[in-house]
């Protein structure tokens, strides 16, 4: 079948794509910005189109001859605008365009809905489902709660809490029950319902075999990791304090933390159905899902990360707007080194950030990240998806990767921290084995210029130490 896959830069779609290709489907990957997407599975069965579902005219790029379309778009982590209104507009534009194609089925991944008093997130998800259900195509809705897998938001947030905090004073929503599901099972459900007419115009709750409170999930995680953790639930922690608690301890942004806290007050337990039996899916329990996730991490085989899918308001103009590093009106710190082993230097560049660090003055980078977090920035908490691989659109601590081209021996990063201006950091090895490291800052007004001069003394040893350690033989 010819399948339209939306949200391809997101966590779920990047897991689903290889499964669809393995089953022999032709997949049209729909992205908002080609500049931030690397097709790791490029073949004659994949193609990439650029479409923004907030821009109805751009949807004409969607082929007319598709058979099935996946709707895997959400805006909960956005840091700009009203995510509920954005999700509604995207759904309406998607529905209108897909109705003009040959698509017989749309598959939508939503959230489990159990109560009438829903969070903004779950209300928005239900609203999208209602919009898509009122269409000429057949809608199959899969509703999931907590998704557990390497790189998933739920897994990484739980991991941050358990591994960083031996004792936790937590809000009362930790007593809320949920039914987590392994990412492997989610992909099996999403691919398994393709063309199954018995699933048309129906919705199914999907979850694993365990019903656990969030506190139990944390304690299970701690036991698997061999950690002794104590959790005390208190009734006085407000949603705002809870959101800040998640924001400062985990890698989540504050807008996402706020929406997560709102959702976590609602129980997400599956209504019984026979879909798993119908599709022959063996459901993995929570402990198994955790162990499988760590197997992938230890093997450095994390296929996707929720952190890469978070889109800052900085990039509302698109990645391509920032790929050309400006020259006029900018301050630059340019350093060059002749290198004797370009392959080793390139490997070091490709391992920047995360566990590896920045090769010099890591404690200063950490302080800068903490200062950024205090003013609502992303800080240094995001790390990176893989220790050795990196691609356009991925996060790297408080940077976003714009270009990562090993053939050209070039890495270009753009700062997502809070700044009175814009900042780029570039590494490039030329044909003469000369490494050029360039930090570019385009100031915004007088404050931006004052900022540059304030940090200039630190550049002298931070950037010098970094290039020296990258280029050493």
- Among 288, 304, 320, residue at a domain's last position: 304
Quick check: is 322 in a domain?
no
Q: Does residue 384 lie within any of the structural domains?
A: yes
Same structural domain, 73 and 196:
yes
Q: Domain with 342 in it: what CATH number? A: 3.30.530.20
**Chunked in runs of 10, what are the mean pLDDT values of the chain (473 residues)?**
91 90 93 75 84 89 94 63 77 93 94 70 81 93 90 80 83 85 95 96 95 91 91 74 68 64 74 94 95 79 58 58 85 94 94 91 87 78 80 86 91 91 94 95 92 89 93 87
What are the tokens at 102? 């040959």
**Has residue 183 been placed in a domain?**
yes
Query: Could you tell me if 181 and 270 lie in one domain?
Result: yes
Task: Give a yes or no: residue 96 inside a domain.
Answer: yes
Which pLDDT does position 370 carry in this prediction?
82
What pLDDT shows up at residue 390? Answer: 86
Q: What domain range is 173 assigned to?
A: 2-304
pLDDT value of residue 132: 92
Residues 334 and 420 in one domain: yes
- pLDDT computed for residue 320 by the predictor: 66
> In terms of domains, do 272 and 155 share one?
yes
User: What's the confidence (pLDDT) of residue 184?
Assistant: 94
Please report whether residue 310 resides in a domain.
Answer: no
71 and 195 part of one domain: yes
Give the Cα separation of 8 and 380 in Å (integer).
25
The pLDDT, as a whole number, for residue 80 is 46
Asked if residue 146 is part of any domain, the answer here is yes
Residue 152 maps to a domain: yes
Q: How many domains does the chain have?
A: 2
> Do 49 and 148 fall into the same domain?
yes
342 with 268, same domain? no
**Where residue 214 sits, what CATH number does that domain have?**
3.40.50.720
Q: Residue 202 domain-assigned?
A: yes
64 lies in the same domain as 177: yes
Distances (CA, A) of 72 to 13, 15, 17, 227, 462: 7, 12, 12, 35, 42
The answer to whether residues 115 and 239 belong to one domain is yes
The verdict on 238 and 334 lying in the same domain is: no
Question: Do 49 and 91 fall within a single domain?
Answer: yes
Residues 144, 256, single domain; the answer is: yes
């Amino acid at each position: 079948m010819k399948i339209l896959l939306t949200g391809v830069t997101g966590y779920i779609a990047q897991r689903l794509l290889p499964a669809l290709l393995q089953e022999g489907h032709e997949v049209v990957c729909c992205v908002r910005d080609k500049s931030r997407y690397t097709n790791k599975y490029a073949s004659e069965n994949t193609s990439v189109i650029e479409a923004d579902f907030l821009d109805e005219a751009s949807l004409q790029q969607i082929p007319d001859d598709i058979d099935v379309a996946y709707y895997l778009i959400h805006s909960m982590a956005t840091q700009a605008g009203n995510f509920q209104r954005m999700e509604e507009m995207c759904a309406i534009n998607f529905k209108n365009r897909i109705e003009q194609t040959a698509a017989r089925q749309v598959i939508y991944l939503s959230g489990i809905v159990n109560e009438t008093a829903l969070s903004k997130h779950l209300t928005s998800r239900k609203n999208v489902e209602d919009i898509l259900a009122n269409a000429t195509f057949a809608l199959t809705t899969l509703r999931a709660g907590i998704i557990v897998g390497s790189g998933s938001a739920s897994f990484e947030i739980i991991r941050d809490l358990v591994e960083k905090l031996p004792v936790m004073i937590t809000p009362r929503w930790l007593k809320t029950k949920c039914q987590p599901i392994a990412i492997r099972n989610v992909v099996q459900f999403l691919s398994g319902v393709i063309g199954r007419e018995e699933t048309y115009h129906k919705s199914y709750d999907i979850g694993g075999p365990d019903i656990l409170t969030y506190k139990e999930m944390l304690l299970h995680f701690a036991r698997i990791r061999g950690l002794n953790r104590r959790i005390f639930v208190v009734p006085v922690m407000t949603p705002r304090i809870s959101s800040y608690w998640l924001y400062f301890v985990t890698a989540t942004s504050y807008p996402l933390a706020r929406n997560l806290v709102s959702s976590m007050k609602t129980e997400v337990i599956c209504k019984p159905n026979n879909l798993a039996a119908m599709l022959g899916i063996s459901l993995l329990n929570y402990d198994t899902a955790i162990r499988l996730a760590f197997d992938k991490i230890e093997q450095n085989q994390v296929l996707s990360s929720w952190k890469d899918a978070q889109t800052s308001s900085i990039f509302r103009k698109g990645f391509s707007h920032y790929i050309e590093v400006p020259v006029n009106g900018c301050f630059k710190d340019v350093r060059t080194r002749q290198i004797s082993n370009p392959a080793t230097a390139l490997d070091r560049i490709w391992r920047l950030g995360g566990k590896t660090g920045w090769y010099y003055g890591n404690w200063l980078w950490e302080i800068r990240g903490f200062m950024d977090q205090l003013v609502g920035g992303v800080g240094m908490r995001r790390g990176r998806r893989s220790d050795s691989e990196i691609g356009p659109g991925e996060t790297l601590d408080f940077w976003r990767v714009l270009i990562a081209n090993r053939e050209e021996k070039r890495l270009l990063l753009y700062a997502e921290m809070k700044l009175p201006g814009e900042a780029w950091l570039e590494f490039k090895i030329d044909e003469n084995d000369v490494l050029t490291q360039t930090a570019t800052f385009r100031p915004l007004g007088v404050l931006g210029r004052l900022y540059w001069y304030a940090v200039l003394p630190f550049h002298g040893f931070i950037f010098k130490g970094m290039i020296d350690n990258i280029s050493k033989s």
